Amino acid sequence: MKITKSLRTLATLLLIAVSGQPMLALQPGDAVTLEALTKAEFVKGEVPKEWKTDHVYVLECWATWCGPCVAAIPHVDALYDKFHGKGLDVVGVNVFEDGKEMVAKFVQKKGDGMSYPVAYTGRGGAFEASWLKPAGVNGIPHAFVVKNGRLLFSIHPASLTEKMVEALLAGGEAESALVKKLNRAKGSQEEIKALVGTYSSQVGTGDYVAAKATLTKIRDLDETYPGLPGLEVGLAAKQEKWEEVVNKLNQDRSAMLATMLGMQVEMGGETFPAAVLEVLVRNLAGIEETEAVGLGVRAALLSRLGKKEEAQAGAEKAAKAFIGLSQGAVAKDAFDGYVNSFKTDKPMGLMEAFGILNKAMSKGAK
């Protein structure tokens, strides 16, 4: 089984995600205002009139084209539904996007699945200028957590847990300890970056005991590190501990984790048992129509399971999502070869799909 290549690819993606940042103008502890949100266009609900005393505010930065953002929405919505009556306020802040109508349609389609207020800020708007750029935010999903008019910390929205929200609402020592811990973890990103590289090398040489110890170090530095579940499941897969893999996938049914492990299968060419592939397909069944990577992974897994018709239908959805990433700059026929390849025993992979997208966009730009 050749899992090393895909683990290294995954590690590279994670290294990009945790790259260090320079000294920033907006940092934890700084006072923040609602001014930028008052300039946004709300497609659902309305702008908060003020920061209510002791309320916790989560400003969830997302976009319709961002697969991980869309995957995190159900989690954020569940937190909002459970804690809104206790003092949790969420505002979905649509960023890095052009087109209010597309955002409004997306939110309308989500319905009660996105029950909190949602603001469309527009590319280059006031929110980007006064929040994202000063905080050094170049990628999403991203969430700002505010209480009593001050930025407490930033976090991947999928990493915000019920226990964290409870601690923030409780205030006092529980809040202080959590904020200190999360901000310390944020400052450890360079160390985590190095540890992910070490882990990748250890897995590559088959030193699984050392790799497990490295993952423990990463967890100790930042238990909310988004890539950790994928690395842990990936290590179990490398050791062919299939029962453990299935158990982990049954415990954490997030599309994000399924996509990460599915990428290892799809990109690395590993032979996973059908039982694992079936669980991955199940966990990816509810992903949104805009999640190109997840849809592409699911189509590839279906093909491996010999379900050609389902795989082709999945490839068609993935192709549509890839075209959507181009904001309409790529025509449907550019992906005909990708879709048709799923009729054969050798369907195209994700990197080939991205290659089609890049080539078509480059051609259109000339």
In three-state form (DSSP H/G/I as H, E/B as E, the rest C), the secondary structure along the chain is CCCHHHHHHHHHHHHHHCCCCCCCCCCCCCECCCHHHHCCEEEECCCCCCCCCCCEEEEEEECCCCHHHHHHHHHHHHHHHHHHHHCEEEEEEECCCCCHHHHHHHHHHHHHHHCCCEEECCCCCHHHHHHHCCCCCCCCCEEEEEECCEEEEEECHHHCCHHHHHHHHHCHHHHHHHHHHHHHHHCCHHHHHHHHHHHHHHHHCCCHHHHHHHHHHHHHHCCCCCCHHHHHHHHHHHCCCHHHHHHHHHHCCCHHHHHHHHHHHHHHCCCCCHHHHHHHHHHCCCCCCCCHHHHHHHHHHHHHCCCHHHHHHHHHHHHHHHHHHCCCCCCHHHHHHHHHHHHCCCCCCHHHHHHHHHHHHHHHHC
* Whether residues 203 and 233 fall in one domain: yes
User: Residue 347, preceding bond cis, omega within 30 degrees?
Assistant: no
Q: In this structure, is residue 304 part of a structural domain?
A: no
Does the pLDDT of residue 258 top 70, yes or no?
yes
Confirm if 178 and 168 have CB atoms less than 8 A apart.
Answer: yes
Share of the chain above pLDDT 70, in %: 90
User: Are 230 and 95 found together in one domain?
Assistant: no
Same domain, 169 and 94: yes
The domain boundary, picked from 132, 155, 186, lies at 186
Identify the pLDDT of residue 223: 79
Assess whether 37 and 88 both reside in one domain. yes
Q: What is the mean pLDDT of residues 255-267?
A: 83
Contact residues for 106 (Cβ-Cβ < 8 A; gap 6+): 64, 290
How far, CA to CA in Å, does 128 sit from each of 17, 50, 104, 287? 20, 20, 19, 28
CA 366 to centroid of chain Cα atoms: 32
Both 26 and 131 in a single domain? Answer: yes
Range picked from 63-67, 179-183, 232-236, 253-257 for highest mean pLDDT: 232-236
Quick one: 174 exposed, middle or buried, by C-beta within 10 A (0-12, 13-18, 19+)?
middle
- pLDDT above 80 (res 180): yes
Check whether residue 63 and residue 101 sit in a common domain: yes
Q: How far is CA 191 from the centre of its chain?
A: 21
Over 70: is that where the pLDDT of 22 sits? no
| pLDDT at residue 127, rounded to an integer | 94
Q: Are residues 30 and 160 in the same domain?
A: yes
User: Is 331 inside any structural domain?
Assistant: no
**Do 3 and 38 have their domain in common?**
no
Q: What is the mean pLDDT of residues 318-338?
A: 83
Structure tokens at 166: 């409870």
Q: How many domains does the chain have?
A: 2
- 234 occurs within a structural domain: yes
Structure tokens at 1: 């089984």
Q: Express each pLDDT in 44-55 by its tens digit.
A: 999 999 999 999
Looking at the structure, tell me whether residues 32 and 165 fall in a common domain. yes
Say what the pLDDT of residue 264 is: 80
Which range of residues forms the domain containing residue 81?
A: 20-186
Asked, for residue 12, whether it belongs to a domain, the answer is yes
For residue range 107-154, what is the model confidence (pLDDT) as tens digits? Answer: 998 899 999 999 999 888 899 999 999 988 888 999 999 999 999 999
Q: Is residue 203 part of a domain?
A: yes
pLDDT higher than threshold 50 for residue 60: yes
| Residues 80 and 28 occupy one common structural domain | yes
Looking at 228, 253, 278, the residue that finishes a domain is 253
Task: Give the strand order in the sheet containing 150-155.
Answer: 41-44, 118-120, 88-94, 56-62, 142-147, 150-155
Does a structural domain hold residue 10?
yes
- Cα distance between residue 309 and residue 112, in whole Å: 32
pLDDT digits (tens, 9 = 90+) for 273-318: 999 999 999 999 988 777 888 899 999 999 999 999 999 999 999 9
Residue at 154 is within a domain: yes
Measured distance CA(60)–CA(119) in Å, rounded: 10
User: Which whole number is the average pLDDT over 41-67?
Assistant: 94
Q: 58 with 157, same domain?
A: yes
From 155, 186, 217, give the residue that closes a domain.
186
**Which pLDDT band, with edges at 50, 70 and 90, does 164 fall under?**
very high
In a domain, 277, yes or no: no
CA 221 vs CA 14, 213, 216, 225: distances in Å: 16, 13, 9, 9
One-letter amino acid at 169 equals: L
Same domain for 137 and 192, yes or no, is: no
Nearest alpha carbon to residue 318 among 280, 340, 291, 345: 291
Q: What is the pLDDT of residues 309-323, one digit of tens each?
A: 999 999 999 998 888
CATH code where residue 91 lies: 3.40.30.10
